[in-house]
Amino acid sequence: MDADYLRDVADLVLRFLHVVAGIAWIGASFYFIRLDLGLAPPKEPKEGVAGEYWGVHGGGFYHSQKYKVAPSKLPEHLHWFKWEAYTTWLSGFALLVVLYWTDPDTRLVDPAVADLSGWQAAAISAAGLVLAWLLYDAACRLLRDDRAVAGFVTALVIASAFAAGELFAARAAYLQVGAMLGTIMAANVFFTIIPAHWELVHAKQEFREPDPAPGLRAKQRSVHNNYLTLPVVFTMLAGHFAFTFGSGQAWLVLLALFALVGAIRHFFNLWHQGRRAWWIPAAVGVGAIALVVALAPEDTPAVARQVTDAEAQAIVSERCTECHVGASAPSGVRLETLNGIRANASLIESQVSSRAMPPGNATGMTDEERDRLVAWAAAAR
């Protein structure tokens, strides 16, 4: 079977698995943080219980309790919330390999950004995942104040966004930052949160007093993961919106969007504690409007004369139809006929003007061709 077809099949299967597992993982994160922040001391003190939470859902009432450290006796059945995280990361990593690392010259490299070979770009991408976790984990272990950790993580995200923008094609740069943050989240579960849970279980099995320190570290990492979820989700979706990663200062746009979605996450976490900080969504709304205005497309580049249909079709035929032809064309965008090109004029304008297409400028579209095609597409919309 054709290699491109098999890659499309792998893309579909892995992407579907990634999305479903991600929904389960993020849903669990949102629920448990909401549960933890909403805990109230039991009206009638119960041995070892730190707080309880009453909820109604699915036609019934639920009563959740959280122990200060562990119950006096382990329950017979204990559910572990870990497979959602592992499946999300493994499927996302597989997508990164299948779509980007096996085709780095097209997906990762943009000669206009950095003079990298395909294998160099893939190696840097892989190293970035490892380095992000090592730096983050070191900060959590060495810095005692959570505010200092938050400051370091913020600096790490800023540096990662800038470095990715200087090394990779625009679309890949956003995904790389998201993959680094997603790796931190999954590694938190694997190296810190689940081992802490095992320590509690083993202590109870060995009839010794559990050490609360690992549980406190796990709680810290769980809260960090909760705040990273929305930035990671955005990077998963950003590839569909060229006006974000195709802007002149794409890394600053990414950071602005991270700040907006992170603020919204904080608003809901405060809400779960009974605090209504309405100024946060108001500020986010103002910031979002300002960003929309800042990212509004500039005027169509002036060309010396009107671009004809034949000229536009010639450019598309030489630079675009290598991929956008037949039933397997990306996103179903077929450009082998003039009618097909006209039907996608608006998409051509946004994708070509932002330099998102051709990916990594693999087909060598010149700036003159780009200006002419954008001018034609703007007139044809």
Instruction: Give CA angle at 181 (134, 177), nearest 5°.
Output: 105
pTM score: 0.88
Q: Identify the bridge partners of residue 51 per DSSP, sorted by sequence position.
A: 66
pLDDT at residue 247 in the model: 80
* % of the chain at pLDDT higher than 90: 60
- Token couple for 201: 């279980």
Place of tokens 């994160």: 29
pLDDT at residue 304 in the model: 57
Residues 255-263 have a mean pLDDT of: 97
Place of tokens 């929309």: 292
226 vs 297: CA distance, rounded Å: 34
Residue 280 has pLDDT above 80, yes or no: yes
Residues 323-351 have a mean pLDDT of: 85
pLDDT at residue 112 in the model: 83
Instruction: Give CA angle at 324 (321, 326), nearest 5°.
Output: 105
Q: Provide CB contacts within 8 A for 87, sequence distance 6+.
A: 17, 21, 24, 25
292 vs 361: CA distance, rounded Å: 26
Residue 317 has pLDDT above 60, yes or no: yes
pLDDT at residue 151 in the model: 96
Is the pLDDT higher at 363 or at 26? 26
pLDDT at residue 349 in the model: 87
Per-residue pLDDT tens digits for 92-124: 999 999 999 998 988 899 888 999 999 999 999
Sign of the dihedral defined by the CA atoms of residues 26, 32, 35, 39, in that order = negative
pLDDT at residue 24 in the model: 96
pLDDT band at residue 135, thresholds of 50, 70 and 90?
A: very high
Q: Identify the bridge partners of residue 61 per DSSP, sorted by sequence position.
A: 56
199 vs 25: CA distance, rounded Å: 22
pLDDT at residue 25 in the model: 96
Per-residue pLDDT tens digits for 322-335: 889 887 777 788 88
pLDDT at residue 60 in the model: 95
- Token couple for 354: 């932002």
> What does 9-59 look like in DSSP terms, one character per residue?
HHHHHHHHHHHHHHHHHHHHHHHHHHHHHT-B--SS--TTEEEEEEEEETT
The phi, psi pair for 366, rounded to 5°, reads -80, 160
Per-residue pLDDT tens digits for 367-377: 888 888 988 98
Residue 302 has pLDDT above 70, yes or no: no
pLDDT band at residue 300, thresholds of 50, 70 and 90?
A: low
Residues 42-50 have a mean pLDDT of: 86
Q: Supply the mean pLDDT for the chain.
A: 91
Residue 381 has pLDDT above 80, yes or no: no
Residue type (1 letter), 117: S
Per-residue pLDDT tens digits for 173-232: 999 999 999 999 999 999 999 999 999 899 988 888 888 899 999 999 999 999 999 999
pLDDT at residue 110 in the model: 87
Residue 59 has pLDDT above 80, yes or no: yes
